[in-house]
Amino acid sequence: MGERSISPYALTKWQGVKELPEYLQPAEAHRLISAAADNRRGERDSLFLDLLLQTGIRVSEALAATPSNIIEVDKQPVLVIKRGKGGKTRQVSLPKMLAFRLLHYRNEHSIAADQPFFPITRQRAWQIIKLAAQRAGIDKRTYPHLFRHSYAIEFLKQTGHPQALMTLLGHSSPSMTLRYLRLLQVEDALKIAEGVEV
């Protein structure tokens, strides 16, 4: 099995299991975000993509985020998602460095408390990601929800806590969270089987 390799997603798709999500490895995601910083609106675009990656929120939720949505809970930055999918409100963890960058960006660009950080369309968000992926040399299919998948996979790898992930992502049922777990199980099985010959 040494020289031949196949991604878990490709394998399961080949087997007819199409529901397992694609995702970016952390190094790929950061390469893509760095590539987004190279255009005319690089500061905005890279910050926008980093918000998607570090929180796992939906693109519509990121586009609706305003400075007033950033609060502190037990001295930790939190992003309040108002009117998320299904009209629900929830809170997501916001890394301190990302919160600092968002608030600095607000000050630098005089963004009012109730104005969105990123006044762009969903179509423009897709364009930003596609262009950055091309510049970064990433040949995977790239789209906004890919960052949500990437966050979810990394969250489970680091914490092993699907219930917390379900709450943070705002899933109404555990089915999507279980898809992430299933993908990790496939990856683990392939790693264990690597080098096994009969």
Query: What are the structural domain ranges in the chain?
Result: 8-190
Position 27 confidence tier, pLDDT thresholds 50, 70, 90: very high
Compute CA 157 distance to the chain's CA centroid, rounded to the nearest angstrom: 14
pLDDT at 10 over 80: no
CA distance 5 to 49: 30
- The pLDDT of residue 85 is 67
Round the average pLDDT of the chain to a whole number and report it: 89
User: CB–CB of 49/33 below 8 Å?
Assistant: yes
Among 40-49, 150-159, 184-193, whose mean pLDDT is lowest? 184-193
pLDDT at 172 over 90: no
Cα dist from 170 to 68, 118, 123, 128, whole Å? 20, 22, 23, 25
Q: What's the rounded mean pLDDT across residues 131-143? A: 95
CA distance 127 to 40: 14
The percent helix, strand, coil of the chain (3-state, each to 5) is: 60, 5, 35
Q: Is 183 helix (H, G, I), strand (E, B) or coil?
A: helix
pLDDT at 6 over 90: no
The CATH homologous superfamily of the domain defined by 8-190: Intergrase catalytic core (1.10.443.10)
Percent of the chain with pLDDT over 90: 71
pLDDT digits (tens, 9 = 90+) for 105-132: 999 999 999 999 999 999 999 999 999 9
Q: Which residue has the tokens 């489970």?
A: 156
Q: Which two tokens stand for residue 17?
A: 């299991």
Position 21 confidence tier, pLDDT thresholds 50, 70, 90: confident
Cα dist from 104 to 5, 50, 67, 98, 141, whole Å? 44, 15, 10, 10, 32
